[in-house]
Amino acid sequence: MQSIKSTGELKEAIRLLQEQQTYQGLVLKEEFFTVTDSIKPVNVIKNTFSQVASSHDLIGNLLSTTVGLAAGYISNRTLVGSSANLLRKLFGTIMQFGITTLVARNPDAVKSLGHTLLQRMLNKKAADS
């Protein structure tokens, strides 16, 4: 900054600094309102859901894990049922873990198999009608 040598220059420097302060105050207020709006609970939840919805990998992984857990549970209930046999329960738990892992790691194969089975069932119903 230049050195000020007269009262006119001093008044002009003060005026420029006041304009700068006014501008920076307006910018600060605008940023404050933007931040306070973004941290409202409704907006936080909305932003979180939009981020989750935009990440297809997360949704795909969640879906394949859920299908894997359901398939493992159903297989365990089918094999073990209400048996009191300890060995049968152990075998059922091992099978449940294996099926859950297999289905969760190969979602495309499971999807393809499900699509094929659905098509066969629909074709069979159409042929029966």
Q: Quickly state the pLDDT bin for 129 (edges 50, 70, 90).
A: low
Per the CB < 8 A criterion, the answer to whether 123 and 88 are in contact is no
Q: What is the DSSP string of 96-120?
A: HHHHHHHHHH-HHHHHHHHHHHHHH
Q: Tens digits of per-residue pLDDT, 69-123?
A: 888 888 888 877 777 788 888 888 888 888 888 887 887 787 788 778 878 888 8
Least confident of 26-30, 34-38, 122-126: 122-126
What's the rounded Cα separation, in Å, for the pair 25 and 28? 5
What's the rounded Cα separation, in Å, for the pair 59 and 86? 37
pLDDT of residue 5: 87
pLDDT of residue 51: 72
Token pair for residue 61? Answer: 């992984």
Instruction: Tell me how far CA of residue 47 lies from CA of 29, 43, 59, 85, 104, in angstroms.
Output: 23, 6, 16, 50, 28
